[in-house]
Structure 1
Amino acid sequence: MTTLTAAPTLRIGSIELDAPVVLAPMAGITNTAFRRLCREYGAGLYVSEMITSRALVERTPETMRLITHHESETPRSIQLYGVDPKTISEAITILVAEDRADHIDLNFGCPVPKVTRKGGGAALPWKADLFRSIVQSAVKAAGRVPLTVKMRKGIDDDHITFLDAAKSAEDAGVASIALHARTAAQFYSGNADWSAIAELKNAVSSVPVLGNGDIWSADDAIRMVAETGCDGVVVGRGCLGRPWLFGDLAAAFRGEQRKAQPTLGEVASAFKRHAELLVEFFDDEDRACRDIRKHVAWYFKGYPVGGEFRSSLAMVESLERIDELLATLDWSMPYPGEAVEGPRGRAGSPKRPALPEGWLDDRSLGEAQRAHLTETEADTTGG
């Protein structure tokens, strides 16, 4: 196992983290229930799933529910998405004025077509003037609340943006910069280019740089820090069905040689706990059971529980039924080892990013594209 010469600490603005670890925002995953579960195992900063800034300004019921944290969550962290400086500023003003967040992150890394097609996510930093305007207005609106950014390397290998964007963000006064070391075109396929994280760390000196991509174990996290010099790590797909990874990470950064090897019973208990927290979050047992279904494959990856059990658990409609199915397992079954390790979650395949017409023609925002973004901001769907 790779070791560090000293246990790193991480401060993001006024927030001092007890481990240099951040849970990456994941749509439909990092709701209050999952964040609480991960926090019960480890330490760090746990970020909400992406919230649409226009929907927050319009105070749609779903959005107001998504930005509500449980009383046990501290610091409270929310990630915003948007394409208009004014709307994002208004959304942040709400969060600050109503004391709804201790940390705000801006999403410039999402590669999903429905986001990039609107000029958002990983597509936005290509328009350098728009990116600069959004970050500057966001930092101003955030005031005392630390404002950070998360981005990708760029749109594709011919349109790399992370260094220019990071410099603009640093100059604007952000509290940290996180880099997912893939392009939008890569989606989640292939290998993350950790050398880009090292390049970013060398270019940015006044704020912490966080690395993201291909952290499947605590050893991966320690190795990323050792190889790139980054100040902390952002963990996404690696924790799916493995909330105890955050315990491994906290221990590793303390220099402890410890790794969770949960029995099947411990996995079953975590799965049930997750379902119970979802019931509390949704205040609807049926909806919670529908939501937990997508986690079945992740929790039981590598454990010889059988296809019939997996299929049945993926159709549960009540906590009582979950209990019945989990009771059929041999809870003493030991950790299967290598079968559980490695990548998880959908990687997708490389693809040409969906972009607004003429988006790559110029790095400045044209009038037609500005009008397109104005129309986009009228969309209040999503978080």
Structure 2
Amino acid sequence: MSGLTLGPLQVATPVVLAPMAGITNAAYRRLCAEQGAGLYVCEMITSRGVVERDQHTLDMLVFDERETTRSVQLYGTDPVYVGKATEILCAEYGVAHVDLNFGCPVPKVTRKGGGGALPWKRQLLGEILEHAVAAAAPYDVPVTMKTRIGIDEEHQTYLDAGRIAQESGVAAIALHGRTVAQAYSGSADWSAIARLVEHVDIPVLGNGDIWEAADALRMVAETGCAGVVVGRGCLGRPWLFRDLAAAFDGTEVATLPRLGEVAAMMRRHTELLAHHLGEERGCTEFRKHVSWYLKGFAAGGELRRSLAMVSSLAELDALLERLDPDEPFPVSELGAPRGRQGSPRDRVALPEGWLDDTDGTGCGLTEDAVETTGG
């Protein structure tokens, strides 16, 4: 299969790393990019934070010196702010790709009409997309969007969203095959991805339940999507991008690293975090990844706890030496879900009267800092 074309942007392998809060920082993006080609997207940031030069937001807009294609996911509910933020990203940060988030299922986001709730307001969605596309056009930067099937099964939005995206000049649309109500529970509905492919002429990227490279190939075969978006499947397994690159190049690969190779990857990850954040903070940031890297391995609880409290590279090295380098990869973990799953929600948090009409502009929406895991 050939690469992915997003307007003027060519991606050698049709694979996109989903933005994940607190995960897809510059260090992790470089770590994954060292494994295989693809498009590696920065953590999601708010448009208001960019426009108002919020320091926390700007701190997230950090790129590795070897990051050749700068890609950012933007969240916003105000068309003017989204447009201004897009222009700033293109003009001042050299961003080559802007993705807009309309898929976040977090209640504090949907309660304000953002994320996966926003496509219900078709006029507002169109205005946001048009502002972003117009702002990016002078810089020849493609704008894409990510969304979900809908708020719940009774309030589906993805086909309308695809039509509006195409009419607005969006370069591609990514669809997570779950509703907001499902969050990350249950199974992704790949048939919705196939229906969207039939519905629009722009490229569709499929997202949801890609745990192995074989899953990505199967999704493409079953849905006709132009590429895949990988989130939770790569947690503690950055080498998945090596497998994906090989798979799309026609080689079937399933990397099964022994624990010694995993330990080396853990060391490299922490080293990159220390490079970008300083040693102490880098080690602190690494702690959340320990359980993902060691998932299924026999490493004892005491050692895991120590690794999850590591505060220096020297301490990390000493602890990693205690792992059995020859322990084989736990094949029982292949194809198994990773990261958060949770339970479906009986009711999605929405603004008062949100479902009363589908063509409102969502006037009065407020935009706060938000987090989303992607995938």
Same fold (TM over 0.5): yes
Please say if 1:103 is aligned against 2:97: yes
Please say if 1:148 is aligned against 2:141: no
2:75 aligned partner, one-letter code: Y
Secondary structure of the corresponding residue to residue 197 of structure 2: helix
2:276 aligned partner, one-letter code: F
Counterparts of 1:358 and 1:318, CA distance in 2: 51
C-alpha displacement of 1:339: 3.5
Aligned with residue 209 of structure 2, among 192, 209, 214? 214
Counterparts of 1:158 and 1:102, CA distance in 2: 37
Aligned with residue 75 of structure 1, among 61, 65, 69? 69
Secondary structure of the corresponding residue to residue 179 of structure 1: strand
Aligned partners of 1:107 and 1:121 also within 8 Å? yes
Please say if 1:165 is aligned against 2:158: no
Corresponding residue number in structure 2 for 1:45 = 39
Secondary structure of the corresponding residue to residue 100 of structure 2: strand
C-alpha displacement of 1:292: 1.0
Corresponding residue number in structure 1 for 2:251 = 256
Corresponding residue number in structure 2 for 1:345 = 339
Aligned partners of 1:88 and 1:138 also within 8 Å? yes
Aligned partners of 1:25 and 1:236 also within 8 Å? yes
Corresponding residue number in structure 1 for 2:82 = 88
TM-score (norm 2): 0.96
Counterparts of 1:226 and 1:20, CA distance in 2: 13
Aligned partners of 2:2 and 2:12 also within 8 Å? no
Please say if 1:20 is aligned against 2:14: yes
Aligned partners of 2:237 and 2:293 also within 8 Å? yes
Alignment of 1:257-272 (within 5 A): 257-272=252-267
Counterparts of 2:124 and 2:40, CA distance in 1: 28
C-alpha displacement of 1:91: 0.4
Unpaired runs of 5+ residues, structure 1, are 1-6
Pairwise CA RMSD of aligned residues?
Answer: 1.4
C-alpha displacement of 1:107: 0.2
Counterparts of 2:27 and 2:348, CA distance in 1: 32
Aligned partners of 1:17 and 1:44 also within 8 Å? yes
Corresponding residue number in structure 1 for 2:176 = 180
Aligned with residue 305 of structure 2, among 307, 311, 315? 311
C-alpha displacement of 1:336: 2.4
TM-score (norm 1): 0.94
Corresponding residue number in structure 2 for 1:3 = none
Counterparts of 1:23 and 1:142, CA distance in 2: 21
Secondary structure of the corresponding residue to residue 105 of structure 1: strand
Aligned partners of 1:50 and 1:78 also within 8 Å? yes
C-alpha displacement of 1:99: 4.1
Corresponding residue number in structure 1 for 2:113 = 119
Q: Relative to 1, partners in 2 of residues 1:363 and 1:96: Cα closer, same or farther, differing over 3 Å?
A: same
C-alpha displacement of 1:65: 2.1
Q: Relative to 1, partners in 2 of residues 1:235 and 1:36: Cα closer, same or farther, differing over 3 Å?
A: same
Aligned partners of 1:122 and 1:184 also within 8 Å? yes
Aligned partners of 1:303 and 1:340 also within 8 Å? no
Aligned partners of 1:301 and 1:340 also within 8 Å? no
Q: Relative to 1, partners in 2 of residues 1:234 and 1:306: Cα closer, same or farther, differing over 3 Å?
A: same
C-alpha displacement of 1:286: 2.3
Aligned partners of 2:151 and 2:157 also within 8 Å? yes
Q: Relative to 1, partners in 2 of residues 1:250 and 1:381: Cα closer, same or farther, differing over 3 Å?
A: closer
- Write the deviation string for residues 333-381 of structure 1: whole angstroms up to 9, x where unpaired: 2222223541110101101221111111111326xx512x1xx13x467
Corresponding residue number in structure 2 for 1:61 = 55
Counterparts of 1:63 and 1:164, CA distance in 2: 31
2:65 aligned partner, one-letter code: E
Unpaired runs of 5+ residues, structure 2, are none
C-alpha displacement of 1:326: 0.4
Please say if 1:198 is aligned against 2:200: no
Corresponding residue number in structure 2 for 1:228 = 223
> Number of residue pairs matched?
369
Counterparts of 1:32 and 1:118, CA distance in 2: 29
Corresponding residue number in structure 2 for 1:239 = 234
Counterparts of 1:381 and 1:242, CA distance in 2: 25
1:165 aligned partner, one-letter code: A
Q: Relative to 1, partners in 2 of residues 1:381 and 1:235: Cα closer, same or farther, differing over 3 Å?
A: closer
C-alpha displacement of 1:24: 0.5
- Write the deviation string for residues 126-171 of structure 1: whole angstroms up to 9, x where unpaired: 0111001000111001111000000000000010000001100101
Aligned partners of 1:58 and 1:380 also within 8 Å? no
Secondary structure of the corresponding residue to residue 190 of structure 1: coil
C-alpha displacement of 1:16: 1.0
C-alpha displacement of 1:68: 2.2
C-alpha displacement of 1:257: 2.1
C-alpha displacement of 1:31: 0.6
Aligned partners of 1:181 and 1:193 also within 8 Å? yes
Counterparts of 1:382 and 1:343, CA distance in 2: 21
Aligned partners of 2:109 and 2:370 also within 8 Å? no
1:313 aligned partner, one-letter code: L
Counterparts of 2:91 and 2:172, CA distance in 1: 22
- State the identity %: 60
1:304 aligned partner, one-letter code: A
Aligned with residue 26 of structure 2, among 19, 23, 32? 32
Secondary structure of the corresponding residue to residue 229 of structure 2: strand
Secondary structure of the corresponding residue to residue 34 of structure 2: helix
Corresponding residue number in structure 2 for 1:370 = 363
